[in-house]
Amino acid sequence: MWVSIAIFLITYIFIVWDRFDRAVVALAGAALMIFFKVLNQEDAFSEIDFNTLGLLIGMMIIVFITKRSGVFEYLAVKMVKAAKADPLRIIVVMSISTGILSALLDNVTVILVMLPITLSVARDLKMSPAPFAISQVFASNVGGTATLIGDPPNSLLGSGAGLSFMDFIKNDGVITIPILFLTTFIFALLYRRKLKASSDVKEAILKLDEKGLVKDKKLLRKSVFVIILVITGFLFQGALHFEAATVAIGGAILLLLISGLKVEKILREVEWKTILFFGGLFILVGGIKETGVIKLLAEKVFDLTHGNIALATLAILWISAIISAFVDNIPFVTTMIPLIKNIAIISGMNVTPLWWALSLGACLGGNGTIIGASANVIAVGMAEENGCKITFMNYFKTAFPIMLLTIAIATVYLYIVYL
Question: For residue range 352-390, what is the model confidence (pLDDT) as tens digits?
Answer: 899 999 999 999 999 998 877 778 877 877 787 677 788
Task: Give the span between the Cα atoms of 151 and 181, in whole angstroms.
Answer: 18
Residue 128 lies in a domain: yes
Polymer length of the chain = 419
Task: Give the span between the Cα atoms of 79 and 95, in whole angstroms.
Answer: 11
Confidence of residue 170 (pLDDT cuts 50, 70, 90): very high
**Predicted TM-score (pTM) of this structure:** 0.75
pLDDT-wise least confident of 26-30, 37-41, 136-140, 242-246: 242-246
Residue 180 lies in a domain: yes
pLDDT exceeds cutoff 70 at 97:
yes
171-199: average pLDDT: 90
Separation in Å, CA 331 to CA 285, 302, 362: 9, 22, 10
Task: Give the span between the Cα atoms of 222 and 65, in whole angstroms.
Answer: 10
Q: What is the pLDDT of residue 328?
A: 66
Task: Give the span between the Cα atoms of 29 and 7, in whole angstroms.
Answer: 6
294-351 pLDDT per residue, tens: 777 767 777 777 778 888 899 889 988 988 887 667 777 887 888 888 878 877 778 8
384-412 pLDDT per residue, tens: 767 778 887 888 899 999 999 999 999 99
Positive or negative, the CA dihedral 407, 412, 414, 419 is: positive
Mean pLDDT computed over every residue of the chain: 85
Q: What is the pLDDT of residue 49?
A: 80
Q: 251 or 193, which is more confident?
A: 251
Residue 259 lies in a domain: no
Separation in Å, CA 79 to CA 94, 186, 283: 7, 20, 43
Residue 54 lies in a domain: no
Task: Give the span between the Cα atoms of 317 and 31, in whole angstroms.
Answer: 32
Residue 242 lies in a domain: no
Residue 87 lies in a domain: yes
214-230 pLDDT per residue, tens: 888 999 999 999 988 98
Q: What is the pLDDT of residue 298?
A: 67
Closest by CA position to 159, among listed 39, 230, 246: 246
Q: What is the pLDDT of residue 359?
A: 95
230-239: average pLDDT: 80
Residue 365 lies in a domain: yes
The burial class, CB within 10 Å (0-12 / 13-18 / 19+), for 281 is buried
Task: Give the span between the Cα atoms of 201 and 195, in whole angstroms.
Answer: 13
Q: Alpha carbon 148 to chain centroid distance?
A: 10
Q: Which domain holds residue 414?
A: 2-46+70-214+271-418
Q: Is residue 290 a contact partner of residue 43, using CB atoms and an 8 Å limit?
A: yes
Q: 83 or 266, which is more confident?
A: 266
Q: What is the pLDDT of residue 381?
A: 74
Q: How many helices (H) and strands (E) does the chain have?
A: 23, 0
- φ, ψ of residue 43 to 5 degrees: the values are -65, -35
Number of domains the chain is built from = 1
Residue 238 lies in a domain: no
